[in-house]
Chain A
Amino acid sequence: RKEVEQDPGPFNVPEGATVAFNCTYSNSASQSFFWYRQDCRKEPKLLMSVYSSGNEDGRFTAQLNRASQYISLLIRDSKLSDSATYLCVVNSYNQAGTALIFGKGTTLSVSS
C-alpha cells in the first residue's frame, strides 16, 4: 500500500460547484497533515493544515479521521482560479527523523 493515496482525477466541475477530494495514508504514527496546492509548472504551496477537529478557511474545509487514516478537502462555490492540483501531504516520523510524504495529487479543473 502506498504511503499516501489520492484519486488522481481529473475532476472537471462548473463554477459554483462543490467538490470533495479524499486521501488515505498508511502510517498510523503520522502526526501532521496538510493540503498543498500546485499550479502547473510551479512549486507546491501550503493551502491549509488539517486538524482532528476539522478546520475551515473560507470556502475550504479540511477533515481528518485518524481511526480510518483518511483526510478530506471540500471546496465550496468553486472558482476558475481553484483549477490546480491538490496534494495531500502527511508528516511521518521515523527513526531517522521526519519527512513530508506527498500524494501524487488530484487535478481539479473548474470551467465557466
Chain B
Amino acid sequence: GAGVSQSPSNKVTEKGKDVELRCDPISGHTALYWYRQRLGQGLEFLIYFQGNSAPDKSGLPSDRFSAERTGESVSTLTIQRTQQEDSAVYLCASRIPGQGSGYTFGSGTRLTVV
C-alpha cells in the first residue's frame, strides 16, 4: 500500500480483556517497529522485526504483551488482560533497512482501557 496501515484506529476495551492491534507495513519494508505513546509522553519502543531474524522484544513492558509478524508483511500486537495503564496510542512504523533511511509511521491505534 501507499503507507503504513493500522487497525483499528480506535479501540475501547474493558479492563481484563485481550486486544489485538494490526499493522500493515509498506510493501517491501522489511523492518517493522511497534511503539507506544501515552498521552503527553514520548514514544516508547516496544518491539522490532527484521526479516526472518529473531525479533528484538526488549521494549515489551510485561509478559502480557506479545507480537507476531507473518514473513515481511502484517504484524499483530496482542495485549492480554488489559490494564488501565495500557491506555495509549500504539504506533507502527516500517522502513527499508539501511543507514540514513527514514521510518514511515502509521496513524496509530488509540487504545482506551476502561
Contact = CB atoms under 8 A, between A and B. Distances in A.
Contacts of B33: 99-100
A18 interface: no
B42 A99 contact: no
B45 to A, nearest CB: 5
Contacts of A87: 42-43
Interface of B: 31, 33, 35, 41-43, 45, 48, 50, 53-54, 56, 58-59, 91, 93, 97, 99-108
B51 to A, nearest CB: 10
A43 B41 contact: no
Contact of B100 (A32, A43, A98): A32
Given A96-B58, A97-B48, 13 more contacts: A31-B99, A32-B100, A32-B101, A43-B91, A43-B105, A43-B107, A46-B102, A46-B104, A49-B102, A96-B56, A100-B45, A100-B93, A100-B103
Contact of A45 (B53, B105, B108): B105
Contacts of A46: 102-104
Given A43-B108, A44-B105, A97 B100 contact: no
